[in-house]
């Protein structure tokens, strides 16, 4: 159990708590961790076509920095890591990636202090509600 852990990241400093949780579980279970960054394609809805290439390149750079940061910390802890960047609806992409790697656990952050007040629109809430894989969330509101 927990041989493959999926860690979606947005690259913020508050994700350090989630990375540490994934590292702790992976270390105890001998698991590998897949770090995923999703470029939210809704960012392109209001852009002129000529701007999309530049914005996509910038967001891909942010994704590489985010996955590299998490992967570095995990590797320093002796964890095997794979990184990936996807584009699309974040919740959909997280769920699809979890399925594609046959993840045993998704560990992710949530920024809602009281998730019942923020059910609509929350990526973590959508993942929790729709996932066939167990999901462990860390409240990032206390980390910020």
Q: What is the CATH number of the domain that holds 9?
A: 3.40.50.620
What's the pLDDT tens digit per position in 18-33? 999 999 999 999 999 9
pLDDT of 95 reads 98
Give the chain's mean pLDDT: 89
How many domains does the chain fold into? Answer: 1
What's the pLDDT tens digit per position in 31-48? 999 999 999 988 777 777
SS3 at position 113: coil
**Which structural domain range is residue 138 located in?**
4-142
Residue 113 has pLDDT above 70, yes or no: no
Where b means 16+ CB within 10 Å and e means fewer, 64-78 reads: eebbebbbebbeebe
pLDDT of 1 reads 79
Taking the model in full, what pTM does it have?
Answer: 0.89
Which of 3-17, 37-51, 104-118 shows the lowest mean pLDDT across its residues?
Answer: 104-118
Provide the terminal-to-terminal Cα distance of the chain, rounded to the nearest Å.
31
Query: Could you tell me what percent of the chain has a pLDDT over 70?
Result: 91
Find the farthest-apart pair of alpha carbons in the chain and give their distance in angstroms, rounded.
48
């Amino acid at each position: 159990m927990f041989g493959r852990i999926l860690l979606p990241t947005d690259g913020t400093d508050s994700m350090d708590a989630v990375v540490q949780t994934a590292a702790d579980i992976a270390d105890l279970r001998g698991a590998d961790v897949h770090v995923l960054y999703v470029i939210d394609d809704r960012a392109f809805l209001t852009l002129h076509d000529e701007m999309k290439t530049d914005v996509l390149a910038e967001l891909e750079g942010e994704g590489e920095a985010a996955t590299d940061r998490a992967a570095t910390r995990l590797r320093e802890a002796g964890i095997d890591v794979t990184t990936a960047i996807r584009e699309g609806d974040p919740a959909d992409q997280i769920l699809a990636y979890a399925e594609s790697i046959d993840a045993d656990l998704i560990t992710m952050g949530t920024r809602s202090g009281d998730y019942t007040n923020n059910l609509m629109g929350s990526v973590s809430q959508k993942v929790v509600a729709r996932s066939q894989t167990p999901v462990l969330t860390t409240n990032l509101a206390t980390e910020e």
